[in-house]
Structure 1
Amino acid sequence: MDTALSRQRRLFENNRFHFKRQNHADSEVQVVEGLVRARLKIAIVTETWPPELNGVALSLLQICKGLQRLGHKILLIRPDQKQKCLDFAPNKECLVTGQVIPKYTQMQFGWPQYRKVSKAFDEFMPDIVHVVTEGPLGLAVLQSAKSKNIPISSGFHSAFQDFSRFYDLAFLVKPIQHYLKWFHNNTQLTCVPSQDTAQAILDFGVTCPIEVIKTGVDVEKFSPVFKSSAQRRKWGACENTTVMLYVGRISPEKEIQLLIDTYISMRREPERKLKLVIVGEGPDRVRLEKYSQTAGVIFTGSLTGNVLAEVFASADVFVFASQVETFGNVILEAMASALPVVAYDYAAAKLHLDANTAWLCPLGQKQNFIQNMQQLPNNKTLHAMGQQAMKNVQSVGWNHCVQQLEQAFYRVVQETEITA
């Protein structure tokens, strides 16, 4: 028997997504390049959301805003938070109980409140469900959506199977991989931010269709125009000081100690003035701050908005030693701020950087990474490379990313209708 949801589902005439429906309301369609397309009702499911500070939450915010600007309606399913995100208002929201993640008190996962999610689906009647995180909430949503025959896509944005190696939990790598494989193979499409990530999940057995949806950057928010002499003076950096910057989570898998140890070795050269600035929070901050307290490493804590943009623009080079990124949004933010980059040659760095804008080394070759830091040129050369990096990233905005995802959603919905 047809459900209320299936009766509302859009019917597409062909793979260019012409839309046919009798007596439809103007608010349900949009005209794009002469074609009338359905305005989708999209359920977005995530266990991380601003004001939490991480690449997944901040990227998802931009995607939701972009989809809504295109006329689509958003049901946001997420854990409840003490603080509210003021940058986006979903058309409908389903909040579940949140549980703090051990060692990450600023982040939480959502309880699998199946009945609450199911009721939200019945009221909103989504055309597609997009599950961004594979935790307990994501699992409950997956089960509910499948029971109602709602098309399901997913995102793979955090390499949990790799993180476990840095927490003495190597024995969990295989079970986590098996779970992730099962989860994504129960969706009709998995979206990933880079080709490296696509290959990684193929390697551990994901067989559902995979699509690379590239991440963007706001080049108005991150720009060298925000460079501040006052900020550099706070760091004790003069014009000739080379300020090396890291921005991100302060946790073992980010390999920040490698940055600190290399910085300490570089300070033994008295002819060069150096500063290392580390922006972010995480379970490794207390240990690393104590470890480096005599070396003059600057820990700022979490920064956002104009202050973060100013810090990016006021540094001279971005150093990023993580080898477990699915993308690495901070690479693009550094480039937009006119910083050259020292990183490993994969994900965002591989996609957007070259020898004119960065020093890239193969994964696993830590000694090569150390040498790249130790052999950094003078600030004049760094600034010239940074200017080129900035030029290269000017066209990497969020609009293309949002449009890519929109087209992916259309295909999943259409394929479901064809096979129904």
Structure 2
Amino acid sequence: MANKVYVVGVGMTKFEKPGRREGWDYPQMAKESGTKALADAGISFDEVRQAYVGYVYGESTSGQRAVYELGMTGIPVVNVNNNCSTGSTALYLAAEAIRGGRADCALALGFEKMQPGSLGSTYDDREQPMGKHLQALAEISEVLFPPAPWMFGAAGREHMKTYGTTAEHFAKIGEKNHRHSVNNPYAQFQESYSLQDILDSRMIYDPLTKLQCSPTSDGSGAAILASESFVDSHGLDGQAVEIVGQAMTTDFASTFDGTAKNIIGYDMNVQAARQVYDQAGLGAEDFQVIELHDCFSANELLLYEALGLCAEGEAGKLVDSGDTTYGGKWVVNPSGGLISKGHPLGATGLAQCAELTWQLRGTAGKRQVDGVQAALQHNIGLGGAAVVTAYQRAER
């Protein structure tokens, strides 16, 4: 039987425009988030038995260099890269170490130091890992560069054509997430915009305007995970949040079935969510707060269906209902999401974990959702991996 896994400490930096903070390199980012997480857990680094460190852009063993800012105790440090789901993959691996009894306390840490502008390839002397995905999309959609807005925009267009979704539905998601971020001091952007502002901002790939797209960002996040015995011995019951379900999926053969939505991971998301719901004994209706991967507003809309918040084809109606913001059935992305909080690739999944931990503890300040008993996290990286995690307040 697998051991129970608890989040006992979280920390993150403010997410920033790349290069905005002078002298703020990835070791400094990691030290800031990691120190906060350790302080939150009330432990010292020498009690951590394993560390999993995520980043997408950086040289080999950057994970060690980052962790050495917290301490040098000879523990295993594993470098993790899973595209935009890197942070949650580090979280998944740290949790697996606890579940399997290989460690009683583990650190998951993620960071990113990014270049301004759209994402590009680093190694052009070999086949691109997304090449097959791009080729499949090119067969059903006009080609646009940079690839990311094209891929998610094409999936949005497909939904519009199939189900009658409108450009306004996508814009409403951007408006919601920017509005939520006003109350998040860690967010890269803390400005609200009217729906018309969202619609009128620069078109990136119709229907996606600039204010519906996540920016490149610098930043870091961290989480301390622990076993039940560690929680007991350190008196952490009052702040421990239990991971009650967690799954990672990668691409299925259906990814290349000729639909844009599967090319961007729809089936990965569906299958990961189903596994988590089965593990946790919960359904979508049992969560009060959700942090999901809104790299573009089109992805958030599709995730409403993939995660089971509504039936397939009904996401537009869900948007119009107001059930994904305060006062509705769920509050989705109270942090502002990737669109407004920012998206430093290696840190995103751990920032989501931090936000949901605060929500479950009731310490999220002006962002606090009422009556949170269970929280859901979704993080995806194309090429591909999807990680879904369910959390509940620890009942011990």
The normalised TM-score by structure 1 is: 0.27
Higher relative contact order, structure no. (Cα contacts within 8 Å, ≥ 6 residues apart)? 2
Highest CA radius of gyration, 1 or 2?
A: 1
The normalised TM-score by structure 2 is: 0.28
